[in-house]
Amino acid sequence: MTTTKSRTMQTAVLGVSGYAGAELARLLLHHPRLQGRAPIFFGRENASGESIALTDLHPQLADNNGSASLRVEAFRWAALREREIDVVFLATPHEQSRAWVPDLLTHGARVIDLSGAWRLQHPENRAVYKFEDADATIAATTQQQAVYGMPELHRAAIKDAKIVANPGCYSTAAILGLAPLVRSGWADLNRGIICDAKSGVSGAGKAPTAKTHFMYAADNLSAYSIFGHRHTGEILEQLHLAPQQMTFTPHLLPIPRGILATIYVTLREPMQASAIAECYRSFYKDSPLVRFHGERLPQIQHVVRTNYCDIGFALAGDGRRLIVVACLDNLLKGAAGQAVQNMNLLFGWPEQEGLL
């Protein structure tokens, strides 16, 4: 679909019922470049399949600027052209995104997919999703067009992408925390990297389960998906690591939202703290949504409900044992906020616009 700068871009969101979908709707509704042309919300949000008011689904989105008139409509393929939709955000299950994206591309829409459907290029990493593609050739061609949507690593490629595969929340924290060290060659990969990450309950999605039920999660801390979490492959691929070079363990925190990743690295040679700090500052000097705090360690309470990833570190006296802490809001920088950051890049706007 050809877009022009003479009109406001038309966005659409497919799948707005979840936590990330609600945050995405909020950000798009208040984005300064989208004023006067509200997002179109698609989905079947009640049993009858009829449209319902967005504010019935998410009362927190109610305002005095017309949000009460917005509906969550039943999706129609023809609407993509009829409504001149420039970009479609998919906040849908992995399997639905995997099935629908090839058809969305044939209708001329650019896609920002918040699911894990197109994040992984290597079949051995993608196997964790157990996708059953209807046409393997089409799926492979589509996969080749997908750009991993981490602006701090792939800014240039995202600008021209047809499919932006929005990163996972844990992956965002781990990759941003590690990328400067790994790309500089300072990390001793033979000693292995350990990423111990903890997430609030919203990271598991809106549908309740036995382990996200209040009676299980409250006053508790539990590890899960050890050696098998879906985000592990993203970390390996983006940092070009072998499986034996990284151990990633996620934990469930009894809080609504937020991620804290504590990353243990051995350096190849003794380093000074000032050199570590300069490495991070240089790497992220053009990344407005990464806040590097040097030797002050970040905390979840400082990033929750923001679109920042905060990073800090501590270096042992031997100059080799390094701990990096990366912190973010899993629903914003780890999902909806990063999706809007990617939209900004697609349209040539400052990537932090509408996010600060």
pLDDT of 225 higher than 80: yes
170: number of Cβ within 10 Å: 27
Whole-model pTM: value is 0.95
Annotated catalytic residue within 169, 279, 309, 327: 169
> Which of 9-18, 68-77, 130-139, 258-267 is least confident?
68-77
Give me the pLDDT at residue 6, please: 55
Mean pLDDT of 236-260: 97
Q: What is the 3-state secondary structure (H, E, C) of the chain?
A: CCCCCCCCCCEEEECCCCHHHHHHHHHHHCCHHHCCCCCEEECCCCCCCCCEEHHHHCHHHCCCCCHHHCEEECCCCCHHHHCCCCEEEECCCHHHHHHHHHHHHHCCCEEEECCCCCCCCCHHHHHHHCCCCCCHHHHHHHHHHEEECCHHHHHHHHHCCCEEECCCHHHHHHHHHHHHHHHHCCECHHHCEEEEEEECHHHHCCCCCCCCCHHHHCCCCEECCCCCCCCHHHHHHHHCCCHHHEEEEEEECCCCCCEEEEEEEEECCCCCHHHHHHHHHHHCCCCCCEEECCCCCCCHHHCCCCCCEEEEEEECCCCCEEEEEEEECCCHHHHHHHHHHHHHHHCCCCCCCCCC
> Domain coordinates of the chain in residue numbers?
11-167+335-346, 169-330
Mean pLDDT of 154-180: 98
Give me the pLDDT at residue 213, please: 85
Q: Which residue has the tokens 């950051």?
A: 341
Mean pLDDT, the chain, rounded, equals 94
Mean pLDDT of 231-241: 98
Give me the pLDDT at residue 98, please: 97
For residue range 52-76, list pLDDT tens digits in order. 999 999 999 998 888 888 999 999 8
CATH code 3.30.980.10 for 11-167+335-346? no
* Topology of domain 169-330, CATH: Dihydrodipicolinate Reductase; domain 2 (3.30.360)
| Residue 44 pLDDT class (50, 70, 90 cuts) | low
| Residue 239 pLDDT class (50, 70, 90 cuts) | very high
Tell me, yes or no, if 169 is annotated catalytic: yes
